[in-house]
Amino acid sequence: MSNILDKIFADKQKELAGTKCDLPLAELKQRIGDQAPVLDVFPALRKGKNSRIIAEIKRRTPFKGELRENFNALEIASDYARYGAAALSILTESNYFGSHIGILQEVRTVAPIPLLRKDFIFDEYQVYESRAHGADLFLLIATWLEQSQLTDLLGLGKELGLPALVETHDEYDMEKAFEAKASLIGINNRDLTNGKTDLNIARRLIPMALQEPGKTLVCESGIHGREEIEDFEKIGAHAFLIGESLMTAQNIPEKLTELLGNEKFAG
């Protein structure tokens, strides 16, 4: 494989074959009827006096290994919801991030806010799977997906009432997102092929994204402090997906409070 992103997708393809055997699509579709209505993420990301943060839950990454000792997803999710996160990003990939799709339903019990299923999605089955396990939106990585895949998966999500966060990293990705008519666009400062992070990616792509009216823009990766959030809001970012700076913080509620721009942490 040429890079880690290709390897992750290749392993996911192998894993998905077994998943489809264990839980056929017909049964998966039946489970969708048992789910609560999808929570609308767009108002959560566009309104409010404070900054809008999609707070991420991830145990480890292929680039930095384990991120937090005594990892407890429910405790983290509860803190995120209590201290002002607009939505949660939930890693559900098992081989490289140490998670599982069942975590969505576990987290839902303590976090009544929109849940993003963050995984390596390339197949229609995974979109149905996301809805059947209680996700309110799902991730599509434009860097890896072909235009037709991106458009089709986004369209299926819309049919299910499930929006997609279309993640971009360069101008070519952004053009793909426009072509697919994505409403929710993420700009990832991290190069998923090698793990390197550069905030200039968002500085360059936000003005391009704003040329298309009506888009909701999410700045992803590399955000560590309040000053960076304020700088990106000034140039047009609507929300921020923040993972590692929260997951590695000694006190998660205090860090989230700081990033949101709240005056005082009440712990």
Strand, helix or coil at 80? helix
Catalytic residue among 89, 93, 99, 118: 118
Q: Which two tokens stand for residue 60?
A: 């480890």
Annotated active-site residue 118? The verdict is yes
Catalytic residue among 93, 220, 228, 244: 220
Annotated active-site residue 188? The verdict is yes
Q: Judge contact between 184 and 218, C-beta under 8 A.
A: yes
Catalytic residue among 89, 130, 188, 189: 188
DSSP 160: T
Annotated active-site residue 64? The verdict is no
Catalytic residue among 93, 99, 130, 167: 167
Q: CA dist 121 to 15, 70, 176, Å?
A: 12, 28, 16
Annotated active-site residue 89? The verdict is no
Distance CA 36, CA 201 (A): 37
Question: CB neighbours (10 Å) of residue 227?
Answer: 9
Catalytic residue among 89, 130, 189, 221: 221
Annotated active-site residue 146? The verdict is no
Annotated active-site residue 167? The verdict is yes
Nearest to 186 by CA among 204, 201, 205, 167: 167
Catalytic residue among 12, 51, 56, 255: 56
Q: Judge contact between 27 and 200, C-beta under 8 A.
A: no
Annotated active-site residue 58? The verdict is yes
Distance CA 253, CA 259 (A): 10
- Any alpha helices (H) in the chain, and if so which ranges? 4-22, 25-32, 41-46, 73-82, 103-108, 124-132, 147-159, 171-179, 200-209, 226-234, 244-247, 252-260
Catalytic residue among 58, 176, 215, 255: 58
Enumerate the active-site residues. 56, 58, 118, 167, 188, 220-221
